[in-house]
Structure 1
Amino acid sequence: MDTAIGTALAAAENGRVAGERAARRALAELPTDRVDFCQVFSSIEYEYDAVIAGISAVIGTDPPLIGCSTGEAFTEDDVTRGVVAVGLVASDTVRFFAGLGTGLSDDVSGTVREAVADLPSEVTGYPHMAAINLHDGLSGVGEELALVTQKQLGPQVRIAGGAATDDHHLEGTHVFHNDTVAEDAVALGLIAATERPVIAVEHGHEPLSEPFEVTRSDGSLVYELDGKPAFQVWKDAVRAQVREEFGVTVDTLDPTDQLLQRIMCEFEFGFDQGGRYKMRWPWIETDGGPLHFAVGIPEGTVMRVMHGHPDTQIESGRQTVRSAIERAGDVEMAGAFVYDCACRSIVLEDELPVAIDAMAIELDMPMVGFETYGEIGMGRKQFSGFHNATTVVLLLPK
């Protein structure tokens, strides 16, 4: 049997019913009752154990299951919050395995070792391998995690995935592995296929400022750029553009203002990587305090303030799908898992469905995904794989 993917969103009065509904709808899209893999993204409004129990009541407990908490989730048909999103796969040409590691923020290497302990290093007859990495979105170790995952799985394994979210509350995020729900953890899904899975990554930001050097930082906190308070440098760089686009003076916005959060997602930082920029999302907790990032930012790092207009965000998602399809070449694909940054949803606001629909039209096959706190997209011979403000697409071969 070729690879078949069924996707569905469902809402209900409780997590178990939402999980059951989503699983039944996704299962109805498959040509068989057999399920070989399940990926689930659950709204923080539900009890996660109940969601998984509802899904398992439909598909059983044998298929490997991974997933995470989120705010907004989507399929090829819709995007919304307050739902459970399920992607089910049945295939004779792709095999799936799953693992879980805990204690991520204290020991990245040990956590990944735990997650890969029961995963095979090779699968006879399935020479092409890829992995899905879903992890605690508040751990602050995304870049290191991407590199360590690549090292422990091996350079031949391409990696996609995203950081779990909690609908912008920034209080706690969770990942799922089979019937286990965990914080401060990583869930890995290993894919072994007869044809090569494809991963593509794109963002819609362009340089706005001159480069700045990080002159004082501590882990993921950046205090100074070019010897000046980092938040002030950012405000100086975006002030004119913000006034023109939003009609406000950025200096008057309180750190707790949701408009400032949106503006900081639209005006992120980018690191020049030889003509391509890797995005990093900043946020501020107190006026005059440091800029916070999802990863460590060493002193000496050079970065620019970037600008990502809604129109360019829509086009970048479409371009990610095009890039993935081009990389697939003559190999027919069955569907996609998509990891899309929550910063993009903040910038896009009511146009997020337009952006998701643009990807779905370009793809023209089943897809399921969620809005992340950071994305992993890592291919062979890459030395950096954690991103912000991007769309990551993983295509499964048919």
Structure 2
Amino acid sequence: MKTVQAIKKPNESFVLQNPVPLNEPLVLVFGNRYMLENEQIYDEVKALFPNGHIVFGTTSGEIIDDKVLDGTVVLTAIEFEKSFVLVKRCNVNDFQNDDEKLGERLIAEFPKEDLKHLFVISEGSTVNGSALIEGLEHLKNTSFGLSGGLCGDDDRFERTLASYNENPKEGEIIAIGFYGDSLEITSSNFGGWTTFGPERIVTKSEGNLLYELDGKPALDLYKKYLGEKAVELPKSALLYPLSVKATEDSEPLVRTILNIDEVENTMTLAGDVPEGSRVQLMMSSIDDIANGASRAAELAMDGRTNSPELALLISCIGRKLVMDQRTEEEIEEVKAVIGNNTVISGFYSYGEMAPFSGQDSCKLHNQTMTITLFSE
């Protein structure tokens, strides 16, 4: 595996950190939404890697090595020497916002023989990540792993962009298939958030749209908890996500709010909130988040045969808001576990995709550090 990384700052060109020739590399470009709206961005990357498979995604912060940047573009180009990648795309507008059907169509485009892993970079403004995963895994008993994340737009929640081999645009969902016997790919996630306050029952919901808790309008109840911070919704919701337990025995999933509808008194979450679920508010601290990142790295390393050569980190914008000036500490915690020889890239997101430890089925998470490790 060969890699090249680069950083682009506003009104500057990409600065390559370790330039070496690459043949048909996978080029992952994560960046600030305003910078990826520049009509020249694809041509600029294409000039650097003429035969590359170029994938874009907007962020709520860019990760490169042990650094967290804002308002930049980070690029990681990877040449796999013993394996290969296949990249496919779909747009939510072509499926009448039926995200499960989109997932089914997307996975149908990938040959299953030797498919080791599917890494997804999805638009993050409207997608129901739970439904998307259901579609991608609808065949069940699949032998490949699945991880990835939803694009971000800082804390603006205006629009997110992604693309494959073209300028970034809205509604795109990109899937990258990794093929080859020589590949070892592991993924994990961990949060570090704790519940507080009374447990409520979801009495009315539809997919990822939450109407009522305990028979009362969910948005009104949530605003009551937030108090004066309610005027900052949906941004302030990132500091107080919901823990969702679909059944008594199920693992709790963390859900943050993507949008609110003042007229309908509803909240749109990043993933499903089934009726009958039990929900509680959550909060966290800087130390809890840093420790959670370290635990995520330990889970990703557990049972690996080879040392990782590449790590893709997707962490949540909510974690970044809590960490503030100390955000890089969670990246440093990951690096301390996976080693200094691992190339690190990634971004802060509106949602993360990974299985729980010891499980095969992928889930949509919020407020977690999600890590995917690669070696060949």
Counterpart of 2:186 in structure 1 is 198
**2:297, 2:371 within 8 Å by CA — same for their partners in 1?**
yes
Match for residue 277 of structure 1 among 252, 258, 261: 252
Distance 1:49 1:335, change over 3 A: same
How far the C-alpha of 1:98 sits from its partner, in A, is 0.3
Counterpart of 1:261 in structure 2 is 235
Distance 1:372 1:105, change over 3 A: farther
Distance 1:220 1:111, change over 3 A: closer
**What's the RMSD between the two structures over aligned residues?**
2.7
**1:99, 1:187 within 8 Å by CA — same for their partners in 2?**
yes
Q: Which has the larger displacement, 82-91 or 40-49?
A: 40-49
Distance 1:113 1:267, change over 3 A: closer
The answer as to 2:297 corresponding to 1:321 is yes
Distance 1:116 1:288, change over 3 A: closer
Q: State the SS of the aligned residue for 1:209.
A: strand
Give the letter for the 2:174 counterpart: A
CA distance, structure 1, for counterparts of residue 281 and residue 336 of structure 2: 32
CA distance, structure 2, for counterparts of residue 179 and residue 170 of structure 1: 23
Extract unaligned runs of 5+ from structure 1.
239-249
Give the letter for the 2:186 counterpart: V
Distance 1:396 1:371, change over 3 A: same
Query: 1:218-229 to 2 correspondence within 5 Å?
Result: 218-229=206-217
How far the C-alpha of 1:340 sits from its partner, in A, is 0.9
Counterpart of 1:5 in structure 2 is 3
Counterpart of 2:102 in structure 1 is 111
The answer as to 2:345 corresponding to 1:368 is yes
Seq. identity, %: 17
**1:73, 1:85 within 8 Å by CA — same for their partners in 2?**
yes
Q: State the SS of the aligned residue for 1:255.
A: helix
CA distance, structure 2, for counterparts of residue 10 and residue 254 of structure 1: 36
User: CA deviation digits over 1:168-212, x for unaligned, max 9?
Assistant: 222211111012533212111111131331011111112213431
Match for residue 277 of structure 2 among 274, 279, 301: 301
CA distance, structure 1, for counterparts of residue 310 and residue 121 of structure 2: 19
How far the C-alpha of 1:234 sits from its partner, in A, is 4.1
**1:255, 1:284 within 8 Å by CA — same for their partners in 2?**
no
The answer as to 2:373 corresponding to 1:395 is yes
How far the C-alpha of 1:277 sits from its partner, in A, is 2.3
Q: State the SS of the aligned residue for 2:373.
A: strand
Q: State the SS of the aligned residue for 1:339.
A: strand
Counterpart of 1:332 in structure 2 is 307
Distance 1:195 1:384, change over 3 A: closer
The answer as to 2:164 corresponding to 1:165 is no
**2:147, 2:362 within 8 Å by CA — same for their partners in 1?**
no
Counterpart of 2:174 in structure 1 is 187
How far the C-alpha of 1:80 sits from its partner, in A, is 1.1
Counterpart of 1:351 in structure 2 is 326
The answer as to 2:48 corresponding to 1:72 is no
CA distance, structure 2, for counterparts of residue 95 and residue 48 of structure 1: 30
How far the C-alpha of 1:150 sits from its partner, in A, is 2.2
How far the C-alpha of 1:382 sits from its partner, in A, is 4.1
CA distance, structure 2, for counterparts of residue 346 and residue 151 of structure 1: 35
Q: State the SS of the aligned residue for 1:56.
A: helix
Distance 1:359 1:212, change over 3 A: same
Match for residue 39 of structure 1 among 28, 38, 54: 28
CA distance, structure 2, for counterparts of residue 140 and residue 216 of structure 1: 20
Match for residue 163 of structure 2 among 162, 165, 176: 176
CA distance, structure 2, for counterparts of residue 253 and residue 36 of structure 1: 45
Q: State the SS of the aligned residue for 1:367.
A: strand
How far the C-alpha of 1:159 sits from its partner, in A, is 1.0
Counterpart of 2:74 in structure 1 is 85
CA distance, structure 1, for counterparts of residue 59 and residue 42 of structure 2: 14
**2:106, 2:136 within 8 Å by CA — same for their partners in 1?**
no
Q: State the SS of the aligned residue for 1:197.
A: strand
Give the letter for the 1:111 counterpart: L
Counterpart of 2:86 in structure 1 is 97
**2:90, 2:172 within 8 Å by CA — same for their partners in 1?**
yes
Q: Which has the larger displacement, 198-207 or 165-174?
A: 165-174
Q: State the SS of the aligned residue for 1:345.
A: helix
Give the TM-score normalised by the residue count of structure 1. Answer: 0.83
**1:234, 1:305 within 8 Å by CA — same for their partners in 2?**
no
Q: State the SS of the aligned residue for 1:79.
A: strand
Distance 1:291 1:128, change over 3 A: closer
CA distance, structure 2, for counterparts of residue 105 and residue 386 of structure 1: 21
Q: Which has the larger displacement, 300-309 or 184-193?
A: 300-309
User: Between Structure 1 and Structure 2, how many residues are aligned?
Assistant: 366
Q: State the SS of the aligned residue for 1:45.
A: helix
Give the letter for the 1:106 counterpart: N
**1:39, 1:86 within 8 Å by CA — same for their partners in 2?**
yes
**2:353, 2:362 within 8 Å by CA — same for their partners in 1?**
no
User: CA deviation digits over 1:135-159, x for unaligned, max 9?
Assistant: 1101231101012112369711111
Give the letter for the 1:86 counterpart: L
How far the C-alpha of 1:92 sits from its partner, in A, is 1.7
User: CA deviation digits over 1:247-272, x for unaligned, max 9?
Assistant: xxx42334236xx834x323211123
